Amino acid sequence: MTARPDFSYTPVGRTAHGVTPPAFRALCVHTWLGSGEAVFAAASRAVLEWRMHRAMGVRMVTDAERAAPGVRVTVGLGAGRLRVHGPCRVVWAVDGERRAGWAYGTLPGHPQCGEEAFWVEHAEDGRVRLSVWAYSRPAVWWTRAAGPVVPALQRLYAHRCGQVLRRLVRERPTGG
């Protein structure tokens, strides 16, 4: 995939291939969610319709009800005056029989540069897992100054995605 001028980084779209470009820090976290079609369907909808993020308390301001390439997303983490806003755009999305998810890339004004993907896979043996794959680097002085704290927080966030999605799937395994 090629870089587009509105993104704050290049190359764009590498999370679709599991590739971390040079000069970026990689993150990959997998969480098993359960087994079966109902688990996959419920998890896929929760990821594609922003519900996983919103259930985590993340403010997701989007111009669409569902992830699709080109959709703008502003992510809000934190509370009150400490809320950090990160403008992004969906780079790719997939909604298939065995894989569903999406990735967003950062836009100017985001405290990080890079890409983050969230997808659910339904393995041949029936098990279903969430994968969070990202590559990033600091974009502003305070994320650079935070040093190793930012990657640790990103890893905690990825693990929390899995915990919350597992809970959502258990609450509504048939979706709807």
CATH at residue 152: 3.30.530.20
Distance in angstroms (rounded) separating the CA atoms of residues 152 and 172: 31
Distance in angstroms (rounded) separating the CA atoms of residues 9 and 99: 26
Distance in angstroms (rounded) separating the CA atoms of residues 113 and 150: 12
pLDDT, residue 169, reads: 95
User: What is each CA distance from 83 to 33, 38, 45, 75, 110, in whole angstroms?
Assistant: 29, 35, 27, 10, 12
How sure is the predictor about 78, in pLDDT bands with cuts at 50, 70 and 90?
low
Helix (H) or strand (E) holding 131: strand 127-138
| 2 assigned to some structural domain | no
Single pTM value for the model: 0.90
Q: What total number of domains does the chain contain?
A: 1
| 1 assigned to some structural domain | no
- Residue 131's domain comprises 14-171
Distance in angstroms (rounded) separating the CA atoms of residues 145 and 132: 25
| 5 assigned to some structural domain | no
| 3 assigned to some structural domain | no
| 112 assigned to some structural domain | yes
Cis-peptide, bond into residue 11, ω within 30° of zero: yes
- Tens of pLDDT, residue by residue over 91-144, are 999 999 999 999 999 999 888 999 999 999 999 999 999 999 999 998 888 788
